[in-house]
Structure 1
Amino acid sequence: MRKGQNRFVVGFLLVPVALYLIFVIWPYIQTFGYSLTDWKGQSQTFAFIGLDNYTALFEDDIFLQAIWHNILFLVFIPVITILLALFFAFMLNAGGRGRAGGVSGVAGSGFYKIVYFFPQVLSLAILAVLFGAVYRSDSGGMLNGLLMKLGLVDESAPIEWLNEPNMVLWALILVVVWHGVGFYLVLFSAAMQAIPRDIYEAALIDGAGRAHTFFRITLPLLWDSVQTAWVYLGIAAMDMFILVSTMTAGEYGGGPDHHSEVMATVMMRNFLLYGRSGYACAMGVVMLLLTLIVSVVMLRATRRERVEF
């Protein structure tokens, strides 16, 4: 009987594992192989150069600057998004106290969940166009137009949101946070709804305030969801290609003067414009390794004993 079960399991997994190896693992192996050559992309002939691409990579000031920008995204995007999503989810699920049930969300919480989730239905391409209009550097831009109406900005000197070196990264972070808060709000809300209301009511009877209830009850019981959100947002922060390439100046983005450059934009520029495909493959390998390291570190850093109820 057990032998028959083993045959069934092997037969069931054979095709999916084979497809995964062919379409996922093999391209990674190929990319690493190409990164050890001087491949130009178009030609089928290339020479083995060992680790020269990796040596050049860490002497490339633009790529090192791009890594630093990805690190900034990695720090601020998960922290801001998760904090806002947790706050809104808590208020929508346990922020109200005036009803007969003891603990409930604020009035109209169902409507608010739909409103907060709405940005998630927009694709990143639409999002880039939408915020491109918001950040326009004239009176037609939503932000500049509003500030001009309020008299905070002179019409002859509008703010160049995406062309100011000190502002462009924050402008991009705002877009990602605006897009992601709704999704993680719904994720955290689903986890909060599984928490028995008796726990909140007992805490209220004991005189616990909102802050104490959140940090002592809600957050520990939501920690698995927070950990998952942290990893996904960290992976997104290590990419950022679509928004940067679409919203910022330059071929494949990165402007002004490489102040919004990320690893993905540098890689695509080298691969598609400069014909340095082997060099670009080395960047891809470094991106993969850094993303894996970030995922492992985040899982380790946020690991804690499971709290059950």
Structure 2
Amino acid sequence: MPEAPAIPATHAPRPRRSRRALAPWLFLAPGLAMFLIYVIIPIFQSMWVSFYDWDGLSDATWVGMANYVELMDDEAFYVSLKNNVIWLVLYMLAVPAGLMIALFLNQTVRGIRIYKSLFFFPFVISQVVVGLIFSWFYAPDFGLLYKLIEGLTGQSVAILADERLVTYGIIAAGLWPQIAYCMILYLTGLNAVAPDQIEAARLDGAKGWKMLWYVVLPQLRPATFIAIVVTVIGALRSFDLVSIMTSGGPFGSSRVLSYYMYEQALSEYGYRMGYGAAIAVVLFGIMMIFISGFIWKMWRDEKGVR
């Protein structure tokens, strides 16, 4: 009686292969469901609400593009948008600053663990605590910076009460933990730098800035991408520090789009959910433009390398 042909060892039975293909999706399913429910669906709901005049309780009234038309004539919206641009430009200082600190902390010198702990500290405290610390730092009469400026110049400067300086004072507070975050990303990236490429570059005579630019930075490209994206997101949302330190003041001069959205939609000044949703949609669009640009550039660079 002829024997049945043996199944090659290299090919698993079809049911087993199907289970293997299905297993990753089963593990991803809870995360994908949470992402869909709490991120994707609310984005489209916000877009839909932005076409209504609604206070959050009574019946909503369809107004079409009226909320967006009103934004075009809203001076407070343009002040908030300008402040977000300032945040975005100055917040980018966190990326090179984090890189420089990471390069310093990546050395093996005496006491380096103490330095790492000091630089890591801003990352583990909440933004509320950061806001309170800097509010006291800038405070008139007893703030350290206030006393220092008064002692050096003989003039008193209340940064959080000055319309020209308040935004820069809040950004300085935000940069403190943001630099620490970028530093952690770069420290992780430096641990993955190939030592054989470093040695080969040294044998070729590369050192200093040439070593950094041609050997180290190309290998830190993924860390740089994440640092830029996270910094852009942090600059554009920037709600918590504004709320804690100034509540948008003085006279609305430190508002950003996220805080202005909150004022219009959820504070006693507004309860205009539709108008607040329109501001949120504009902010989301700006954020997507920047992030999509970074993703496209990174994809193009990776394709060029291959």
The two structures share one fold, judged by TM-score above 0.5: yes
2:111 matched to which residue of 1?
108
Distance apart, 1:83 and its partner CA: 0.8
Q: 2:42 aligns with which of 27, 31, 50?
A: 27
Q: 1:246 aligns with which of 244, 257, 263?
A: 244
In structure 2, distance between residues paired with 1:72 and 1:39 = 31
Distance apart, 1:120 and its partner CA: 0.8
1:75 maps to 2:73: no
Percent of pairs identical after alignment?
30
1:145 maps to 2:174: no
Shift of the 178–307 alpha-carbon distance from structure 1 to 2, 3 Å rule, reads farther
Alignment length (residue pairs): 287
1:257 maps to 2:248: no
Per the normalisation by structure 2, the TM-score is 0.85
Matches within 5 A, 1:1-309: 1=15, 2-4=17-19, 16-43=31-58, 45-78=59-92, 80-93=93-106, 104-138=107-141, 140-148=142-150, 151-154=151-154, 157-248=155-246, 253-271=247-265, 272-273=267-268, 274-301=270-297, 304-305=301-302
Question: Which stretch shifts more, 210-219 or 233-242?
Answer: 210-219
CA contact (8 A) 1:35 1:53 kept: yes
Per the normalisation by structure 1, the TM-score is 0.84
Letter of the structure 2 residue corresponding to residue 84 of structure 1: A
Which protein has the bigger helix share?
Answer: 2
Shift of the 18–51 alpha-carbon distance from structure 1 to 2, 3 Å rule, reads same
In structure 2, distance between residues paired with 1:292 and 1:232 = 12
2:10 matched to which residue of 1?
none
Unpaired runs of at least 5, structure 2: 1-14
CA contact (8 A) 1:74 1:234 kept: yes
1:96 matched to which residue of 2?
none
Distance apart, 1:125 and its partner CA: 0.8
Shift of the 128–6 alpha-carbon distance from structure 1 to 2, 3 Å rule, reads same
In structure 2, distance between residues paired with 1:200 and 1:4 = 44
The CA deviation string for residues 12-33 of structure 1, in whole angstroms up to 9 with x for no partner, is 5555544443333322222222
In structure 2, distance between residues paired with 1:307 and 1:226 = 18
In structure 1, distance between residues paired with 2:235 and 2:80 = 12
Question: Which stretch shifts more, 195-204 or 169-178?
Answer: 195-204
CA contact (8 A) 1:220 1:307 kept: no
RMSD across aligned positions (CA):
2.4
Letter of the structure 1 residue corresponding to residue 62 of structure 2: F
CA contact (8 A) 2:149 2:157 kept: no
In structure 1, distance between residues paired with 2:162 and 2:205 = 50
Question: Which stretch shifts more, 174-183 or 47-56?
Answer: 174-183
